[in-house]
Amino acid sequence: MKEYIKLDEWKIIEEGLVPSNNKISESIFSIGNGFMGQRANFEEFYSGETLQGTYVGGVYYPDKTRVGWWKNGYPEYFAKIINSTNWIGINVNVEGELLDLHNCEIEEFTRVLNMHDGLLCRTAIATLPNGKKIKLTSRRFVSLIEKDLGAIELTIVPLNFSGRIEMVPYLDGDVVNSDSNYDEKFWIEIDKKADKNFSYVQTKTKKTGFEVCTAMKWQVTQNGSTIDPNVELVEDKSYVANKIQIEAKQNEPVVLYKYAVMESSLYHKSEELIEVGENRINELFAKGFDRLLDEHSTAWHNKWEESDIKIGGDLSAQQAIRFNIFQLYQTYTGENENLNIGPKGFTGEKYGGVTYWDTEAYCLPFYMRTADSQVARNLLKYRYNHLQKAQQNAKLLGFNSGAALYPMVTINGEECHNEWEITFEEIHRNGAIAYAIYNYIQYTGDEAYIEEYGLEVLIGIARFWAQRVNWSENKGKYVLLGVTGPNEYENNVNNNWYTLKLINWTLNYTMEQIDKLTANGKFEDIAGKTQFVKTTEIEKWRDIVNNLYFPEDKTRNIFLQQDGFLDKDLTPASELPASERPIHQNWSWDRILRSCYIKQADVLQGLYMFEKDYDNETIKRNFDFYEPLTVHESSLSPCIHSIIASKIGYHDKAYEMYLRTARLDLNNINNDTEDGLHITSMGGTWMSIVEGFAGLRVIDNTLSLSPTIPNQWDYYEFRIIFRGIKLDIRIEKDNVMINNLSDKEMTIRVNNENHQIYPGNSASISSGVKQAI
């Protein structure tokens, strides 16, 4: 864990350049707009530790699978959102010496991410080996309005000399991925041109054939006036540059404005990319940096107006939740149903930037409550669009036609994860996708989704479950063999309780929806489309639901994570030496698999999702047993524990787990932030406040709150949208204030008491806020 980020309610601040922290900071200070993203690499050359990263949403490469032992059903590739043309590059030579902060004497260094405005800033005062001292400042953004645009303002001030400064804005498409399985470069050059007024590089991915044209244009001012400097044009392999010569004067700023657009064949014809790039760069260049920044910042202000969470009295918690919300909206905006949310977003290469079940379980709740319902609908539609691929995936593994197994990892609907214990066994992902349909409809009231898309997906998943279980003569029950639950520190187990719960629930929910649409006369078309044999299939599903085995310990009165779990040494995680944490970085896999230690919520994940099926005492008993065995080495773990802890009255634990999830990357808690941020778990951070502390639920179609407040906070305030009604909710120590910002009246339930709130009015409820003690 590293705590070097300074506290501020709207800014992420790093003071001092510590080379060993740089890759961590490159992740933390990343910027993006849902269509493209950029790690916080320096514009100028840097020879220290760095991971260059520029990413374009939807542009990927199928990197050939690398395994020691091929198994039938393995995917042939691992899809990756790949490093694309480096558009930020601006090398600086000072009197013939290349500026490289790694080899300079640094007097001052500050990096600031202004989340309110969506702006990355950096300041450095450095003395080069030749004795020349300069002040460097940069401002950079990726536009939330102009989705193809990135812009930079780089300022150099000579502090102890007058002399020649060379600034070299460039585009470099000859890039690599550090995680390439075979050290392969993924791009080939199509075209390039270096020109003083318009330069571009157009590249094409091998195999997938995506093309991206990156174009740039620049302007230089000296002491506030635009100049027309001498320029040398440079072209190399997938590389173009302009070498700009400036006779600089002491204490007079030289400013380079660089504009770049990235145009892809996802949105334009390949043969039109250069023309589109030239037209766009000229259009945006004409607006100028300040106007573009103002429009971009205004868009961010509007985002914050919709989704900000305010926390009084706890600066660490305030900074953290805004950082999480900021990164979520930098990653996904919901405008394109073909895009989704990778666990690292646009901040690093790990996990390939592709889609996991994390989206449905942890991100959907955030977007469906803070944005127009179409945003969350597009996340669900992404899976519907891949239904045929999910059916093909199930068929590849030996299941009958019509059964659907959604991939653990995908970008195009095909499975691309190549670890057998995940690819073949971590099938609970199917249940998360089914539950997301229910969760969305329950919250938004969008019943039409079931008829239009949802039921086809549910039927495919239900068919898979019906084939995946088998009858055990020994138990006289249906059982589930050879699976991996959310706790990936257990593989190839029998009867994972959480997955069994999902099977039971999915079959029941699917049958309910079939009955509902049948009664409305709307099922016939779906039945024909899915070739559904109602009598036979429903009979089988009901038999499974009525005879499904669930492991439990009747002595402790808890649900068992899987068969045989109690045979383990149940030493609590608190007794592990600090030197052995995290265990996945210090223990052999054999030792981990034999241990009792839980990577993330497993049984507790099920109790979180299906809490209405259990009383508080049942949930508490299971929490008391499993939480002490949990090492929280998945970013997805703390948020679920925080929400459950709030529900059962463990307020200190709820706050502890909230801070862990909220500051996971800011404090590098899991020692892996340099690989990229944990974007999908950031949705869980938001859930920890809204579902956890505020206790937000939908009960009988009514929005319900059961609020608590950590004793470290004076108040917290958040905004949500519920079925088209915008609400501002403020929870204080002894009061709940709810403001209806819409033109519709609504009923809201607070601690089981209904309150009617009229359009434009508010309700102040002075009882029932539970405080942590």
Torsion of CA 675, 679, 681, 683, to 10 degrees: 170
Residue that has been written with the tokens 């030239």 in this structure: 278
Q: What is the CA radius of gyration of the chain?
A: 27
The one-character DSSP state at 602 is S
| Distance in angstroms (rounded) separating the CA atoms of residues 136 and 156 | 5
Among 369, 512, 535, which Cα is nearest to 454's? 512
User: Hey, which bits of 466-584 come out as E strands?
Assistant: 470-472, 477-479, 552-553, 558-559
The token pair at 658 is 């909230």
What distance lies between CA 14 and its chain's CA centroid?
23
Q: DSSP characters for 111-143?
A: EEEETTTTEEEEEEEEE-TTS-EEEEEEEEEE-
Separation in Å, CA 644 to CA 704, 737, 739: 16, 24, 27
In contact, 90 and 256? CB cutoff 8 Å: yes
The residue count of the chain comes to 773
Residue that has been written with the tokens 């009295």 in this structure: 313
The residues near 638 (Cβ < 8 Å, ≥ 6 apart) are 632, 657, 658, 660, 661, 664, 684, 688
| Distance in angstroms (rounded) separating the CA atoms of residues 235 and 193 | 7
In contact, 41 and 52? CB cutoff 8 Å: yes
The residues near 523 (Cβ < 8 Å, ≥ 6 apart) are 455, 514, 517
Q: Which amino acid is at 478?
A: Y
Q: Which amino acid is at 649?
A: G
Per the residue annotation, which of 263, 349, 415, 488 is the catalytic one? Answer: 488
In contact, 599 and 631? CB cutoff 8 Å: yes
In contact, 176 and 131? CB cutoff 8 Å: no
What does the buried/exposed string (b/e) look like for 311-347 if buried means 16 or more CB atoms within 10 Å of the residue's CB?
beebebbbbbbbbbbbbbbbbbbbebbebbbbbbbbb
**Does 275 qualify as catalytic in the annotation?**
no
Please give the backbone phi and psi of residue 7, each rounded to the nearest 5 degrees, phi first.
Answer: -80, 135
The token pair at 582 is 């995290």
Name the 3-class secondary structure at 164.
strand
The residues near 70 (Cβ < 8 Å, ≥ 6 apart) are none
| Distance in angstroms (rounded) separating the CA atoms of residues 355 and 341 | 6
Name the 3-class secondary structure at 669.
coil
Residue that has been written with the tokens 């009901």 in this structure: 542
CB atoms within 10 A of CB 69: 6
In contact, 171 and 84? CB cutoff 8 Å: no
| Distance in angstroms (rounded) separating the CA atoms of residues 195 and 298 | 33
Residue ranges in 76-191 assigned as alpha helix (H)? none
In contact, 35 and 57? CB cutoff 8 Å: yes
Separation in Å, CA 178 to CA 2, 185, 186, 548: 24, 10, 11, 46
| Distance in angstroms (rounded) separating the CA atoms of residues 608 and 641 | 9
* HSE, side-chain direction, 13 A CA sphere, residue 228: 1
| Distance in angstroms (rounded) separating the CA atoms of residues 284 and 261 | 9
Among 678, 751, 729, 726, which Cα is nearest to 324's? 678
Which residues does the annotation mark as catalytic?
Answer: 488
